[in-house]
Amino acid sequence: MGLGIFLLSVGEVFLKTLSSTYSPFQIMFMRSLLALPILFLLLKRNQNLSAIFCLDIKAQVLRNGILSCASLLCIYSLSLLPLAEYSVLFFSKPLFIALLSIFLLGKRLSKIGWLCILTGFIGVAIALNPVCHHMIQWGGIAVLTSAFLYGVGAVLTSKQGRQISSLILTIWHAMAYVVLGLCGTLHLPFSFHLADLPYFLEAGLR
């Protein structure tokens, strides 16, 4: 979990860097296109490739459609907001996950659990000291919507992850990003810089 959070944090810095040059659709397309071959090799090593389709495809389309929209808004908000303001607003995601878990999964969070989530959120706000007027503009609305959609996606992933391997869920996630990213990229001029390859790769595998 600690390594995962570290990679997510590094990935968001890279996404912030890429967002100054590429559109959200281009970033989504390239990061997933680079990650998919590695994911397929891992799957082939452990399972049959046909396992990708031995599941409820409609449920995967719903989950990954929501996560794709969340990712687009996330990248878009990174292009509009300083990293500190983005991080504070995006840290509302645990609040959304906790609330959605109650309604969708029937889970209950203890008072100590709620206190920990709220304390963490306040701690992030104090540490990063955001500029409030940035947070009420379009970038702030985009990142809050992204955090909510990520919360929905996380709850759906938790529910589906009880029956489906995390690798297959990740492959579906990447395939959805490639399709949506390609749809949004076709009408845009796209010049890829080789020096950005490590950024795209890390962002795709985070």
Rounded distance between C-alpha atoms, residue 170 and residue 176, angstroms: 10
Is 123's pLDDT higher than 80?
no
Nearest to 91 by CA among 135, 41, 32: 135
Contact between 86 and 144 (Cβ < 8 Å): no
Nearest to 24 by CA among 199, 184, 147, 140: 184
Rounded distance between C-alpha atoms, residue 113 and residue 98, angstroms: 9
Measured from the Cβ of residue 50, the count of other Cβ atoms closer than 10 Å reads 7
End-to-end CA distance of the chain: 12
Window from 37-51, 91-105, 123-137, 164-178 with minimum mean pLDDT: 123-137
Residue 90 pLDDT = 82
Provide the percentage of residues in the chain whose pLDDT is more than 90. Answer: 1
Name the more confident of 65 and 136: 65
Is 98's pLDDT higher than 80?
yes
Nearest to 172 by CA among 26, 32, 75: 32
Is 186's pLDDT higher than 80?
no
DSSP-derived secondary structure letter, 53: G
Residue 195 pLDDT = 77
Residue 149 pLDDT = 92
Name the more confident of 204 and 184: 184
Average pLDDT, the chain: 81
Mean pLDDT over residues 159-164, rounded? 82
- Residue 203 in tokens: 């962002």
Residue 66 pLDDT = 92
In this prediction the pTM is 0.75
Residue 136 pLDDT = 65
CA-CA-CA-CA dihedral for 71, 1, 164, 182, to nearest 10: 20
